[in-house]
């Protein structure tokens, strides 16, 4: 396994649209393993392949306290979402240190394949629901800050570009 580099907003590749995985083979399983290592190392609850510059429809998640309930979603499709919505704070490994309120469906059900190519449905509420929707946005090239006002988004952009520049100098 190896840790992958997480792209940081406003990296342009975060806006690429991911392509469906054609065959779930050892190559894909390796990507999944590397993504889990990267996500756990960064203390994240979810990671989309787009964030590690791989533009295929692959998501890994673990919203458990014990960090022992990995979920893999390959080629996920939303089959149902609740009409009830919840506004809650959200963050993203590609937007470090930034948290803001985003409106999401309270519950969602997705159909996807696991790392063995088996199709199944996953239904989530609360953090799991929010995480599924957030990661699926990544596969469409959308970062959560795009739900915020242009003013906030520009502030975030400036802050992150400056942080990156300072880190490069250090």
Task: List the catalytic residues.
Answer: 135
Q: What's the min distance (Å) between Cβ of 21 and Ni ion?
A: 19
Asked whether 38 and 47 are in contact (CB, 8 A), the reply is yes
- Shortest reach from residue 29's CB to Ni ion, in Å: 22
What's the distance, Cα to Cα, between the start and end of the chain in Å?
A: 29
Q: Between 92 and 136, whose beta carbon lies closer to Ni ion?
A: 92
Give residues 53-92 in contact with Ni ion (rule: CB under 5 A): 92
Least Cβ distance, residue 50 to Ni ion (angstroms): 9
Q: How many residues appear in the chain?
A: 170
**Residue with the closest Cβ to Ni ion?**
92
Q: Which of 28, 24, 124, 8 is nearest to 71 (CA)?
A: 124
**Nearer to Ni ion (CB atom), residue 90 or residue 115:** 90
Cα 128 to Cα 65: distance, rounded to the nearest angstrom:
12
Query: What does the alpha-carbon distance between residue 139 and residue 50 come to, in Å, rounded to a whole number?
Result: 6
Closer of 14 and 113 to Ni ion (Cβ): 14
Which positions lie near Ni ion, rule CB under 5 A?
A: 92
């Amino acid at each position: 396994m190896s840790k992958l580099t997480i792209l940081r907003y406003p990296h342009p590749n975060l806006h690429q649209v991911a392509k469906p995985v054609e065959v779930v083979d050892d190559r894909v399983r390796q990507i999944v393993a590397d993504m889990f290592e990267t996500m756990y190392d960064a203390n994240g609850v979810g990671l989309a392949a787009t964030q590690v510059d791989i533009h295929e429809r692959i998501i890994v998640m673990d919203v458990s306290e014990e960090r022992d309930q990995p979920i893999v979603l390959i080629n996920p499709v939303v089959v149902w979402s609740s009409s009830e919505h919840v506004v809650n704070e959200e963050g993203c490994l590609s937007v470090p240190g930034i948290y803001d309120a985003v409106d999401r469906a309270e519950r969602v059900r997705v159909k996807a394949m696991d790392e063995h190519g088996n199709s199944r449905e996953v239904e989530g509420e609360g953090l799991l629901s929010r995480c599924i929707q957030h990661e699926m946005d990544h596969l469409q090239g959308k970062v959560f800050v795009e739900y915020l006002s242009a003013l906030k988004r520009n502030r975030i952009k400036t802050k992150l570009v400056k942080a990156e520049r300072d880190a490069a100098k250090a």
